[in-house]
Amino acid sequence: GRWRLPSISAGFVLALLLDRIGLMRSFGRRGLFGAGFVIGACSGLVGAAGAPTALSMRAYGLTQQPFVATIAVMASAMQCAKIPVYVATGAFNLDLWPLAVLLTSMSALGVFAGRFILERLDAQRFRTAVDVLLLLIAVWLVVKAVSG
């Protein structure tokens, strides 16, 4: 339990390092099956899989626009697939719909803001921004696990 988040964080940092030194760049279509499994497992384990998805898409070699679009479509499909499970198990009930609608609306606004920023980044800055964001997520997970 307590080491789950630091372990995931260590995996993020290791994957980033392997990518930076070029060891994850040969990842092809076959690797997507394994990546898809890991992404699904992370999503089921902690409810989200943004960081593993970003690492996988980077390793596959997608450029900025396809990277963002593929992650968006994949995340949407994954969340839609999880809704019936959460409703059936009672994890999500009708009282939570207003919160879900509010967060979805705010997320839609965030997409436009992100698109605006994305159009102004060259490939190297985009890659660096993704790396920094993933490292911040890893640090946050470790701090959260250590603090309690």
Give the Å distances, CA to CA, from 108 to 104, 115, 121, 140.
6, 11, 21, 24
Could you tell me where the DSSP H helices lie in the chain?
4-20, 29-46, 50-60, 64-89, 97-118, 123-147
Q: Identify the pLDDT of residue 106.
A: 92
Per-residue pLDDT of the chain in tens (148 residues, 90 and over written 9):
666 666 666 766 766 676 666 655 555 666 666 667 777 776 666 666 667 777 777 777 778 888 888 888 888 888 888 888 888 898 888 888 899 899 989 988 888 888 888 888 898 888 888 888 878 877 887 777 777 6
| Residues 91 and 31: beta-carbon distance below 8 Å | no
For 122, the 3-state DSSP assignment is coil
Q: Identify the pLDDT of residue 4.
A: 67
| Residues 61 and 25: beta-carbon distance below 8 Å | yes
